[in-house]
Amino acid sequence: MRRSLWWPVAALLVVAAVAWLWPRPDAGPAIVVPAAEVATARAQLDGLAVKGRAAKTGYDREQFGDGWADVDGDGCSTRDEVLARDLTALELDGCRVLAGTLLDPYGGTEIAFSRDRAEDVQIDHVVALADAWQKGAQQWTPAQRAAFANDPLNLLAVDGGLNQAKGAGDAATWLPPARSYRCPYAIRQVAVKAKWGLWVTAAERDALARELGRCRTAAGG
């Protein structure tokens, strides 16, 4: 092989080897959850209405309130409260999270958070606001929508890039790359939709049921 052709081939082989050896997000062990939690999620899923997705007409982020609220009146925004809950090694200024470390549930990687690179760690609405809008939230009052947008059950600190990749996807169109987290993710999706009376599409119901069926449960849990 001529030298001019050898170097591109060699480079491709190196890239392939690194990709094969590099730890993959889906390589971790499945998260073990209590069997009772899975049973509850299955019952909740069975109770959700199954309908088609409504039109997105009229949707705007501001329909769910103006940014992060201070729902409990303690002077701390919902964003900072979720960061304080989900990050470790926190550096605080009062209740403002200045820095910390996130073990990202969606990708399985560790991310250093700092206020000057806030986009690296974002707060995800597990059930996206636009998805909720198309599955029941159009009929809510503005106060209900603001409460939904700031509900801790529906919020997770996650990798910013994965949050952007998810967009408004539901379980039928997007799941965490870290397969080990898909069971807890499905449980949380179902819990949020059950709590708020949102419906699911048939494809979404099937995807959630599939992931619940793959859960690894604690013996006797």
How many domains are contained in the chain?
1
pLDDT of 38 reads 98
**C-alpha–C-alpha distance, residues 18 and 162, integer Å:** 22
The torsion angles phi and psi of 22, rounded to 5 degrees, stand at -65, 135
Its domain, for residue 97, covers: 26-217
* Lowest-confidence segment of 22-31, 37-46, 188-197 by average pLDDT: 22-31
pTM of this prediction? 0.86
Whether 150 and 185 have beta carbons less than 8 Å apart is answered as no
In a domain, 1, yes or no: no
In a domain, 17, yes or no: no
pLDDT of 101 reads 98
pLDDT of 71 reads 84
The torsion angles phi and psi of 159, rounded to 5 degrees, stand at -55, 130
Structure letter (DSSP) for residue 50: B
In a domain, 59, yes or no: yes
State pLDDT tens for residues 124-173.
999 999 999 999 999 999 999 999 999 999 999 999 999 999 999 999 99
